[in-house]
Amino acid sequence: MIFLLWQFCYSTLAAPTPNATYSDVLARTKMLPLASAAYSKWPQDCLTNRFTNAVLKRRLDVECDPVKVDTCSGYSAVLNDDKAIVLGFRGTSGFLQLLEEADQSVLMRKSPWIAGGKVSKYFNTAFMDLWNAGIRDDFNALISQYPSYRIWITGHSLGGAVASLAASYIIAANLTSSGRVQLVTFGQPRTGDNDFAHAHDKQVGLRY
């Protein structure tokens, strides 16, 4: 079991591109609070406490594995003062969910990914279920309403993996340009294979 979890947590990442400049201010004062808000059933309260003129679009929960008590969660919002559209995703919610993630990520066949390579079956299912449940519709509505805003995508743990897939997907599907997307994740587990990692890094210019 320890070996399985080690394999699950080991990350395959390519080096950042030379033009991707890390901002500690962005990570600490913006992205971390946004990732934390995904753990709340009322993200608007968290957004209001930290940002001015922040509006939650919607929070979504979906069942994302055979353990019916396990859910995956995400939200969309707009930060008008920062001129940013936000997609935030919640992390793993318990030990049983962690075991299910590890099982599907290490022992099961990986899923082909739209931008190249293969990704964990669990993370692929989590993202696609949330996307189809309403994140897609909310995101499309927000980018139509705020065409000049940047797109901030974040999450912790499981949410970090889902966030990385979200950033890759919206670029690969030509829903927005790569230059608008800024991805910062926290404690993200290994999400896909080496081909996925390199394809992802070519897509998303600012990613940490």
> What domains does the chain contain, in order, with CATH numbers?
23-207 (3.40.50.1820)
Show Cβ contacts of residue 85 under 8 Å, excluding neighbours closer than 6 positions: 76, 77, 78, 79, 139, 142, 143, 146, 149, 150, 151, 152
Residues 81 and 107 sit within 8 Å (Cβ to Cβ)? no
Section 92-99 average pLDDT:
64
| Predicted pLDDT at 121 | 87
| Predicted pLDDT at 10 | 42
Distance of CA 153 to the CA centre of its chain: 6
Q: Does residue 102 have a pLDDT over 70?
A: no
Section 147-176 average pLDDT:
96
**pTM score, whole prediction:** 0.86
The least confident of 48-52, 109-113, 175-179 is 109-113
Confidence tier at 156 by pLDDT (50, 70, 90): very high
